[in-house]
Amino acid sequence: MMTGRLKWVTFVLLLLWAAAARAQGVVVDYSSPRKYIVGGVRVEGNNSFGENQIIQLSGLRKGAEVTVPGDQTAAAINRLWLQGYFQDVAVSIDSLSAAKDSVWFLISIKERPRVSAWTFTGVKSGEKKDLQERLSLRRGGEFSEYVSKTSSDIISRFYKEKGFLNVKVTPEVTRDTMIRNAIRVNFAVDKGKKVKIKDINFIGRPDDISEFKLARSMKKTKARKLYNFFSSKKFNEKEYPNDKKNLISTYNEAGYRDARLLRDSIYYVEENRLGIDLDTDPGKKYYFRNITWTGNSIYTSDQLSQILQIKKGDVYDMVTMQKRLTGGGKQNELDVSKMYRDNGYLFFNVQAVETNIQGDSVDVEMRIVEGKQATLNNIVINGNDLTNERVVRRQVMTRPGYLFSQSDFERSVREIASLGQFDPEAAMSPEGWTMVPDPNNNTVDIIYNVTEKPSSQLELSGGWGGNTFVATAGVSFNNFSTRRLFEKGAWRPVPLGDAQNLAFRFQTSGTYYTAVSASFSEPWLFGKKPTSLSLSAYYTRQTNSYLAWNILSHDRQMEVYGFSAGLGTRLKWPDNYFVLYNQLSWQTYKLTNWYSNYFIFDDGIAHNLSYTVTLSRNSTDQQIFPRVGEDISLSLSLTPPYSLFRHMNKTADGDWVDAGSWRNVNYDNWTAQERYRWVEYHKWSFKANFYQKLFPTLDFVLRTRIQFGYLGYYNRKWGYSPFEGFWVGGDGMTGYNTYGTEVISMRGYQNYSLTPTTNSQYATGTAYAGNVYDKFTVELRYPIIMQPQSTIFALVFLEGGNCWADIRDFRPFQIKRSAGVGVRVFLPVVGLLGVDWGYGFDDPVNGGSQFHFMIGQEF
């Protein structure tokens, strides 16, 4: 049955045919339709489209049977018209042969002009890219009323979401003088001034719900209040309906189950400033009475009630009840659904049903459908174009054939995000994974969608200062693969894909200072166990050849050789976030005619052989900008207690006499070379970082950090080691430091300024003697850009710390305080860069206003 539109097109077509037939002498009996065979089709007026393409779109093909007059030709016009490419379409009879029962058609078209350029005026350069992505306009496309209207609407919505409620969009069309049958389309945008919300009035609010609580419930609709200082006050039409639902949820959370919004009105209180009235009827306040469970067989009602944490007489909080049943509360907080899903019951379902309401009391029955346990079927990794798939698979806790576990799934997402080879923001987003359950077979497929990001880093720098050239060159391949060393085509520029780290670094300032280092780490030894292997070696040389002082001699020099090897093992207890790391290191200092006021001796060799054991736990959600979790480590470094094996005294004449025991040894006549040829100490270190996201919808992250270090001795007569102490203060950068120390930053103070000094019996002058330190940090962080190409976040901090020469003088809260602001930039090719401004309050000489710059490390 023909539609009304098709009938109208057919009628118009008949009139056209009649006129064309008379003009061409073709005789058509319109009162007696008959069937013909299409002998051919000719096209005129086409420029951009080929003749065959238009004929194919029309549906009139040679050899086909048509009725003249009839619906087929009307349908051909309709099909061509619906393409949107033409502003005029006509189909007429070109010729007709009644004897041969054949008909030839002529399709006459007038093409719409093509758009040679789409432009925007009145918008920022950064907004143009966003608009182009939303509009998906291409050069060579057609421009119609539909395109004009839909594009204008999309642009208007874009700016209304940004708070420009009075935006006006005007499409401007001009002929392109360079291209035939082409036009240029410009969208002239008049954004006007941004409209912001000044006041929100909550009418009908009960006394037990504060205005602040209601205001905070509206996530995107904020009034100009002090507590909304960091929030946008623009009015967002798209988010406003959701915020009205959030408002009612806040009433429900307070026990007002019947709360409803009577009306809302939006009006201008002044130019570009809105007022919003929200008139609510909270209704009666309700309380829980009896809570019962049905359908549960795996867990008892008491066990489930313990997770629910709701007692008789509690406020009837439907929102919190639902969170404790099905999730959506704080991270790592156990809910009923998660307890079942961790045991494989993926198809578990629970529904809270109000069975009786009497007065202000509500009886609730929790109806459970446990279902059957689900088994993991296919685990698919998508998007790993460079990184080997086995690198990702060994990180995930979900394995085919295992029972489904919600905790294992969440841990797998976290491990992928913190791997360092993929975009952590994409991995943690809902698009980062797909779950495909199959209730018929009680199985589930999980697809992890990863996004590769550049991970290797290159460092090249050079400069001229102090009449000398300073240069640094370094490269770090953070996704190296030894397995592909001999694979053809893998060297681009080096074999990558196995998440190993290979790094080289060279630094020089001519003949004055030279440093070379190399390191390698394998996160999974032999690729089969979560045991890491780390190897590193380095060499530094410093001389007295310094152009700034016109000293070109090499008669004084200090050389340091070092090597270390370590193994780290993931533990299963107390949980599998713990790692036990063991390291053996060797360091040798070789001095030739060195400065006695700089080091403890001027000629000789000192050896530092140490073993370090570290117990750490890292549950942060990613590396660069963690939002939740903790990173805690406790380490102990030990050298052999050489002094406990010594039993010789040295006389003033240089003779050695048996003292009988290490307790009787007197070191007064020992030289520094004799005493420190083999360094001894035990060193304790504790560091703890805690991350907490403060608001559900805002990425404000609170980072708190505690640090403590102590360098101890085995023998009081021997005393503290001159090696491996702590230098506290400043930016935490080591510079040319070759001395065996650990540098601790303390923003707001000059470098090393909080480190105590002491007179040395072996050296002229004073030396640093930081043997105990503590430090406390509170940072508030906020991300600015979170993209694979760059991560930028700002911070404000409060910091306090101090350093002591002796454990007996240690006062943990006698600290130097500072505060300030900073910014961090992470670039995949360079690493982490940062600048901080800090103000030290407790040292007028070394404190005050200080700027600190950092590269490749965290405070």
DSSP letter string, 83-98: TS-EEEEEEEEEEEET
Residue 1's pLDDT is 37
Q: How confident is the model at residue 19 (pLDDT cuts 50, 70, 90)?
A: very low
* Count of H-run helices and E-run strands, the chain: 14, 38
Nearest alpha carbon to residue 249 among 278, 282, 222: 282
Q: How many CB atoms lie within 10 A of CB 205?
A: 16
Residue 50's pLDDT is 78
Top mean pLDDT of 79-93, 216-230, 591-605, 628-642 is at 628-642
Instruction: Pick 75 or 782 by higher pLDDT.
Output: 782
Residue 17's pLDDT is 46
- Across the strands, what pairs with 772? 710, 804
Q: How confident is the model at residue 331 (pLDDT cuts 50, 70, 90)?
A: low
Concatenated DSSP letters for 803-850? Answer: EESSGGG--TT--EEEEEEEEEEEETTTEEEEEEEEEESS-TTT-EEE
Tokens found for residue 546: 């310094």
Residue 145's pLDDT is 82
Has residue 18 got a pLDDT over 50? Answer: no
Residue 302's pLDDT is 95
Find out whether 794 and 781 touch, Cβ atoms under 8 Å.
yes
pLDDT tens, residue by residue, 202-244: 999 999 999 999 998 998 899 888 877 777 788 888 889 999 9
Has residue 489 got a pLDDT over 80? Answer: yes
Residue 25's pLDDT is 46
Residue 179's pLDDT is 80
Instruction: Pick 267 or 762 by higher pLDDT.
Output: 267
Residue 299's pLDDT is 95
Q: How confident is the model at residue 87 (pLDDT cuts 50, 70, 90)?
A: confident
Residue 23's pLDDT is 40
Top mean pLDDT of 642-656, 726-740, 788-802 is at 788-802
Task: For the chain, give the number of residues.
Answer: 859
Has residue 459 got a pLDDT over 90? Answer: no
- Average pLDDT along the chain: 86
The mean per-residue pLDDT over the stretch 539-556 comes to 67
Has residue 182 got a pLDDT over 70? Answer: yes
pLDDT tens, residue by residue, 371-427: 999 999 999 999 999 999 999 999 899 999 999 999 999 999 999 998 888 988 888
Long-range CB contact pairs, 223-227, < 8 A, 24+: 223/197, 223/198, 223/199, 223/276, 224/196, 224/197, 224/198, 224/199
Range name among 51-55, 355-359, 627-631 with the lowest pLDDT average: 51-55
Has residue 606 got a pLDDT over 70? Answer: yes
Instruction: Pick 538 or 845 by higher pLDDT.
Output: 538
Burial of 336 (0-12, 13-18, 19+ CB in 10 A): buried
pLDDT tens, residue by residue, 253-274: 999 999 999 999 999 998 889 9
Residue 464's pLDDT is 61
Amino acid at 428: M
The interaxial angle of helices 240-253 and 318-326, nearest 10 deg, is: 100
pTM here is 0.71
Work out the percent of the chain whose per-residue pLDDT is above 70: 90
The mean per-residue pLDDT over the stretch 669-698 comes to 89
Range name among 253-267, 494-508, 546-560 with the lowest pLDDT average: 546-560
Alpha carbon distance 416, 310 (integer Å): 36
Alpha carbon distance 446, 410 (integer Å): 12
Residue 26's pLDDT is 54
The mean per-residue pLDDT over the stretch 85-103 comes to 76
Concatenated DSSP letters for 269-301? Answer: EETTEEEEEEEEE-----EEEEEEEES--SS-H
Alpha carbon distance 641, 660 (integer Å): 17
Helix (H, G, I), strand (E, B) or coil at 530: coil
Q: How confident is the model at residue 9 (pLDDT cuts 50, 70, 90)?
A: very low
Residue 28's pLDDT is 57
The mean per-residue pLDDT over the stretch 495-523 comes to 90
Has residue 31 got a pLDDT over 70? Answer: no
Range name among 49-58, 528-537, 731-740 with the lowest pLDDT average: 731-740
